[in-house]
Amino acid sequence: MLPPTQLPLPLARPPSSARADWVPDASNAEALAWLADPVPWPLHRLALFGPAGTGKTHLLRIAAADHGWRLMEGAALTPDLALAPAPGTALDAADQADQEALFHLINQAAATGAPLLMAARLPPARWPTTLPDLASRLRATHAVALHEPSDTLLAALLAKHLADRQLRLDAAVQAWLLARLPRDAASLAAAIATLDEAALAHSAPITRPFARQVLGARLGLEDAEDDRFGNDPPETSPEGPVPG
């Protein structure tokens, strides 16, 4: 077995905001279409919503870079910032913003025509608020869903993470990972980072038994007995025999 205390933590890598790193997919096609041109946005604002790992933050960064907008976290928004002149605003975790500040920001966008792009896990109509006027504006905000990645997108993301780290994994290992990891980009990236660091630490190839040992403890993956591909026969790794 691989001693967990000998495994280095994954390197902290900031998520890429480059358009080239975005993988188009049916799960995000509608959002991409809306972001291509903010001029037709109803009331000059748009909200993206969806589960964690569906690419909301990445899309906000792309939009802010493409259009020269300021990029902010909802918790950092103040009334003064909301009223400050800006060519546009991309507000991540918008449901965490101060209610008064968000109210002013929405009004500012409507009055000046400066686009406002917001993102959160839930649609705006479901964001918590005690201000009736803000609630009505949130209900009137056009919202576009980002759905969980398709199998095609997950496979493409896996291939990209492997290429970025110059890793080569057998097709069986890739299939095992795709079948067992949570279906979101963040979990996939974390798993590949962990495997890369563990492989470097142990000078070991990333086989399916190796991946099971590393990720089983760290990411809570199921035991091999629940493998969707059937139970694996015992294999041998550089660390010695590995139980299936």
The model's pTM: 0.73
| 17 — pLDDT class (breaks 50, 70, 90) | low
Give the pLDDT of residue 2. 54
State the pairing for strand pair 235-237/240-242.
antiparallel
Domain spans of the chain, in order of start:
24-145, 150-242
Q: What is the mean pLDDT of the chain?
A: 85
Residue 12: strand, helix, or coil? coil
- 24-145 and 150-242 share one fold: no
One-letter amino acid of 108: Q
State the pairing for strand pair 143-145/235-237.
unpaired
- Please determine, for residue 10, whether its predicted confidence score (pLDDT) is greater than 50: no
- Please determine, for residue 229, whether its predicted confidence score (pLDDT) is greater than 90: no
Containing H/E element for 242? strand 240-242
Which CATH superfamily hosts domain 24-145?
P-loop containing nucleotide triphosphate hydrolases (3.40.50.300)
Q: How many CB atoms lie within 10 A of CB 148?
A: 14
**At CA 162, angle to CA 220 and CA 208, rounded to 5?**
45
Please write the tens of the pLDDT for every residue from 21-60.
677 788 899 999 999 999 999 999 999 999 887 889 989 9
| Cα gap 202→204, rounded to integer Å | 5
Please state, for a pLDDT cut of 70, what percent of the chain lies above it: 80
Instruction: Classify 150-242 by CATH class.
Output: mainly alpha
Q: Which regions of 27-157 does DSSP assign to beta strands (E)? A: 45-49, 70-73, 89-92, 116-120, 143-145
136: CB partners within 8 A, 6+ apart: none
